[in-house]
Structure 1
Amino acid sequence: MVTIRDIAKRAGVSGSTASRALNNHPKISQKTRDKIKAIADEMGYLPNYNAKNLTNGVSNAIGVVFPPGEMSTASNPFYVDILMGINRELRPRNGVLSVAIANTMDELTANVAALISQGLIRYFVLLYSKKADPVIKLLREQKVDYVVIGDPNAEDECFVNNDNQLAGQKAGEYMLRKFNAKRTLFVESDPEQGFERKRRLGFQQAMTTAGIPSEVLKVSLKGQMKLDDAIAQFLMTRQTIDGIVTTDDRLGLMIYQLLWRQLDREVPLISFNRNRTNNLLMGPMVRFVELYPQTMGAAAVRVLVDPAKHSEMIPFTIER
């Protein structure tokens, strides 16, 4: 591996001069800087960004904070896609990911505090947005830069998001237009998450405007077997429901499988997000609101590192 000493020897300068030239030190003439950078490129020199940043007291890692809850949250395809987008944007910047995940908010806050104090991490991406969040309070107290994926909770908060209310409205309008639904159901799991609430509000707005009766079903993804039975019973008492929208593809798959396994019914279904590795949620009556989570992850990095940026809104599409 080529080192700064190798470059200095080739250029006939001291190691400190070579280092300063590569870091654009103003006391090194432009001519010398250009000469040493040309030699470095010719020799295939790759700078150690981690060591460079640590000398400044900062890691080159970005901390990614998952919402508190079951550890299985980390396997949610939506979050996995966001991580892929973050990593894609970090790679050319020689950055790395460091993850904070925990079952409780107290544990999560302690985890983030350790990343700041021990890992010297000064940039964070939060994969959720909640009011009165102690993690955000900590980040603000420590004067750490962060961006939330979701609705901002303060005017000066950096964020990346979809227009979830508009997406919910368009999903509802599509359901009525494409499938001529006359009675609909919206299925959600955690309305405290702003994106779920806004998707539901947009959907309900479309139903109200069209004068179509609609219900909301809140389910928890814990206790799968008992949950399946409960939802099956619910759907059995509502045989006239002819259009279902679910707030994410995990709920969509659950409802879809229940309909044909236990109830022998086929009902038009629209799911938010699409896990392309899942081939079970598909058919002529299934549609997806594509949210482009990889694009969201990449945008979060851009907002973090570009002081001119404050937010990015990612477009959505409805597709099969």
Structure 2
Amino acid sequence: MPVTIKDVANRANVSPSTVSRVISDNSRISDATKERVRAAMAELNYQPNLIARSLTNQTTHTIGLLLPGSDSDLLLNPFFVQAMRGISAYAKKKGYYILFTHAEIEEDEVDVLTDLVGSKWVDGIILTTVKDNDKRIAFLQEKKHPFVVIGRPDDEKLTYWVDNDNVNAMFDVVDMLIKKGKKTIGFIGGSHEFKVTKYRLLGYLKALKSNGIDMDLNLIYEKDYTEEAAYEATMDILGYKQPDAIVTTDDLIAFGVQRALHEKNLDQVSLVGFNNTLLSQYKTPSITSVDINAEKLGMFASKLLISQIEKEAIETNNYIINTKLVERDSTK
């Protein structure tokens, strides 16, 4: 005969409702009681019926994660893998599962969100990118569905979000290169529709201005977040003039830049990426990159979302995660 929640309650000498609250990790239950109940569950080999819990509580203990891209390039960008690691680690600790999905264009993403919210498959949603006039954010706000975005939204006060200080992070990169004697510095970023591109471009422009260097639009490119698009942009820049350095908004972009520089025997051109992905240190030369703590971004996004879902007191609606420049051979 299967073990029931009442059996666990009797063994732990608590009420069935207390066992239920321990299973959902309710903050009102003391640690001592949680330990006693969990010990009883282990002794009896009790496994909670998640489907029954969902029907009773009208919750799924599942977080929806919306990723950009197609089936073929879904996880090519290591940033999303790193962020997912942080999201999953915190969610698992709190007893939540992850359901991830994707779409290539914003209209399709809104359709995906409509299905997720309407079907009640998930208790909350994490958006891994932010755009100008973001239709996905507007939809979730209208539906009053718990959500968090990784990135800085248009309305910073009404949205829960986590991000880096991308303006200052790129400012520091470009300022460092200028102090090394680099005057002609190219910029290659992802699409301008993404907020992260805009903020890192702003940091680049501020650093040029701060050091008395005029902006040259022929050195600035905003392309897709792909290695091939970055390769083509680099070739365009090299057709115009040879820069002293090129900064990028993502390591995946930096990989395409490096391939173009290597083909032209220009490995001496300084190169900087963002995200400090594992592969950047194994390139030849190894690539200097800004560590944005992607795993920590994911962890705090998960924390903010679960706090909303469980209606906990939340001290802040956003977290700014520190960055660190990791210098390697590409700028030495």
Is TM more than 0.5 here? yes
Q: Counterpart of 1:152 in structure 2: which amino acid?
A: P
Which of 228, 237, 242 is residue 240 of structure 2 equivalent to? Answer: 237
Tell me how far apart the structure 2 counterparts of residues 313 and 35 of structure 1 sit (CA, whole Å): 34
Aligned position for 2:221: 217
**1:233 and 1:106, CA in 2 relative to 1: closer, same or farther beyond 3 A?**
closer
1:24-35 map, 5 Å: none
Aligned position for 1:20: 17
How far apart are 1:293 and its partner, in Å? 0.5
Q: Which consecutive segments of 4 or more residues in structure 1 shift more than 6 A?
A: 33-36
Tell me how far apart the structure 1 counterparts of residues 115 and 298 of structure 2 sit (CA, whole Å): 23
Tell me how far apart the structure 2 counterparts of residues 229 and 305 of structure 1 sit (CA, whole Å): 42
Matched, 1:271 2:246: no
Which of 242, 249, 258 is residue 260 of structure 2 equivalent to? Answer: 258
Tell me how far apart the structure 2 counterparts of residues 41 and 186 of structure 1 sit (CA, whole Å): 56
How far apart are 1:142 and its partner, in Å? 2.0
Aligned position for 1:192: 193
Tell me how far apart the structure 1 counterparts of residues 105 and 35 of structure 2 sit (CA, whole Å): 54
What whole-Å deviation, never above 9, does each CA across 1:173-211 have from its counterpart, x for those lacking one?
11122x321211111121221111111111111111112
How far apart are 1:319 and its partner, in Å? 0.8
**1:227 and 1:3, CA in 2 relative to 1: closer, same or farther beyond 3 A?**
same
Tell me how far apart the structure 1 counterparts of residues 231 and 271 of structure 2 sit (CA, whole Å): 17
Tell me how far apart the structure 1 counterparts of residues 153 and 191 of structure 2 sit (CA, whole Å): 18
Aligned position for 1:304: 305
Question: Which deviates further from its counterpart, 110-119 or 142-151?
Answer: 110-119
What whole-Å deviation, never above 9, does each CA across 1:258-316 have from its counterpart, x for those lacking one?
101234442111111121145553536x3111101000000001111234141111000
1:43-82 map, 5 Å: 43=44, 45-49=46-50, 51-67=52-68, 72-82=73-83
Tell me how far apart the structure 1 counterparts of residues 9 and 298 of structure 2 sit (CA, whole Å): 39
What whole-Å deviation, never above 9, does each CA across 1:78-130 have from its counterpart, x for those lacking one?
11111111001111112111123112322221211111222432311111112
Tell me how far apart the structure 2 counterparts of residues 2 and 84 of structure 1 sit (CA, whole Å): 33
How far apart are 1:228 and its partner, in Å? 3.9
Contact 1:21 1:36 in 2 (8 A): no
Aligned position for 2:207: 206
Q: TM-score, normalised by structure 1?
A: 0.84
Contact 2:227 2:252 in 1 (8 A): no
Which of 316, 320, 326 is residue 313 of structure 1 equivalent to? Answer: 320
Question: Which deviates further from its counterpart, 113-122 or 246-255?
Answer: 113-122
**1:317 and 1:43, CA in 2 relative to 1: closer, same or farther beyond 3 A?**
same
Question: Which deviates further from its counterpart, 300-309 or 244-253?
Answer: 300-309
Tell me how far apart the structure 2 counterparts of residues 317 and 302 of structure 1 sit (CA, whole Å): 23
Tell me how far apart the structure 2 counterparts of residues 97 and 35 of structure 1 sit (CA, whole Å): 26
What whole-Å deviation, never above 9, does each CA across 1:30-52 have from its counterpart, x for those lacking one?
9xx89983644544545445542
Contact 2:230 2:254 in 1 (8 A): no
1:139-178 map, 5 Å: 139-154=140-155, 155-177=157-179
Tell me how far apart the structure 2 counterparts of residues 69 and 35 of structure 1 sit (CA, whole Å): 44
Partner of 2:73, secondary structure, is: helix
Q: TM-score, normalised by structure 2?
A: 0.81
Contact 1:60 1:121 in 2 (8 A): yes
Q: Counterpart of 2:321 in structure 1: which amino acid?
A: I
**1:9 and 1:229, CA in 2 relative to 1: closer, same or farther beyond 3 A?**
closer
Q: Counterpart of 1:216 in structure 2: which amino acid?
A: I
Contact 1:187 1:246 in 2 (8 A): yes
Aligned position for 1:249: 251
Q: Counterpart of 1:273 in structure 2: which amino acid?
A: N
Structure 2: give runs of 5+ residues left out of the alignment: 23-29, 308-312, 328-332
Partner of 2:276, secondary structure, is: coil
Partner of 1:289, secondary structure, is: strand
Contact 2:149 2:162 in 1 (8 A): yes
**1:191 and 1:73, CA in 2 relative to 1: closer, same or farther beyond 3 A?**
farther
Partner of 2:149, secondary structure, is: strand
Tell me how far apart the structure 1 counterparts of residues 190 and 160 of structure 2 sit (CA, whole Å): 26
Matched, 1:109 2:106: no
**1:94 and 1:222, CA in 2 relative to 1: closer, same or farther beyond 3 A?**
closer
Contact 1:100 1:112 in 2 (8 A): no
What whole-Å deviation, never above 9, does each CA across 1:204-224 have from its counterpart, x for those lacking one?
111111123453123345793
Tell me how far apart the structure 1 counterparts of residues 35 and 278 of structure 2 sit (CA, whole Å): 49
Structure 1: give runs of 5+ residues left out of the alignment: none
Identity of aligned residues (%): 24
Tell me how far apart the structure 2 counterparts of residues 205 and 172 of structure 1 sit (CA, whole Å): 9
Contact 1:100 1:108 in 2 (8 A): no
Q: Counterpart of 2:77 in structure 1: which amino acid?
A: N
Contact 1:287 1:319 in 2 (8 A): yes
